[in-house]
Structure 1
Amino acid sequence: MADIDMAELGPDRTLLLVDDDAPFVARLARAMEKRGFLPETAESVAAGKAVASSRPPAYAVVDLRLEDGNGLEVVEALRASRPACRIVVLTGYGAIATAVAAVKFGATDYLSKPADANDITNALLSRGEAPPPPENPMSADRVRWEHIQRVYELCDRNVSETARRLSMHRRTLQRILAKRSPK
């Protein structure tokens, strides 16, 4: 766990966590509370915007894709109600275009899932310096496997549709899905 100086957080340690994955957001809230933040969670765009307008936090972590819309709507609402809010956008669908859009909407940083609480804390507290390279970057095989899994989930676990979108033979995809994830 990262050692955080409470002075680094400032007097207002409020943190809004917006993600529609309830177990993930609950774990993240506990981890961020241990790091000195005062987390509040929301599981939809509507709930996130409601918190942003009624109790704008000093910090926020917002998932890009939520069941009821785009997390960038929450980022916009946070910027409107509290311009100094430090916002990190999290997504399992990392792409340069979405990272640029998140920053244009007012996010201070952008992280691809899986990101742990230390990565998120460092992103929330960074003041513009370039982040260090990851100590254990994912292997190329792992990145490929993660991408296939994301597309498979986007296709509602339909093997034929996933294979079509990935321009891959269906049997090849079935063999990949049957294996464990690479390290």
Structure 2
Amino acid sequence: MRDVLTGKEMHEVEIAWHLAPDLVMENSQGAFVASADGTKLAVLPDSSANWLYASEKYQISPAYGKLQSAIRVAGRAKLELPEEHGTLLIAGAAEIGRFTRVQTTGPAVLYRYEDSAGSHCILFSDQAGRWSCPPFAGDCKLLYLLLENDEVKRLILCDGSRAEYKGKTIVQNQSSVQRFERDQHSGMTEASSSDSVKLHPVS
């Protein structure tokens, strides 16, 4: 989840995740893990950001004249706007890795999540046209890559036509597509697109 905060000057800001009252909350490796009936959901904030996070109990009113206790995960910071903040939601939460925003220059923003599966890289660009964020480049608004031993194992591209990794073109279409996905596993490659006519994966 990417929260983009607009405006100018210094502001005290807050982001809160409101959770169902029957969930059990615990803190694990910088994440807030909510669980109930054997299912888990982890709320993992960007650990590189200057935010203070805590789980809090508070009162909600599900009906007039009735109060019940609930839990929220709240993050607070004093920031000079504009700024942004990333939060990763992990279903199942069997493993908690490290989630950070990588310092970049230019219009693209890069977040990285490291776990046993590899390095998950998520790039956003709010400006139209080509961008460069070494070792990545492209013209899409969103790009996700799973890197395993420096090899692209999974790719998702949204609202764009091209993506590159380390100077090599990994996706190229004649015109922009809403969505393109490619997944490599067990020696097989699967690909899908919102427009199959425009689908031109580059291996």
Relative to the length of structure 1, the TM-score reads 0.28
Higher strand share: 2
Higher helix share: 1
Relative to the length of structure 2, the TM-score reads 0.27
Point out the structure with max Rg over C-alpha.
Answer: 2
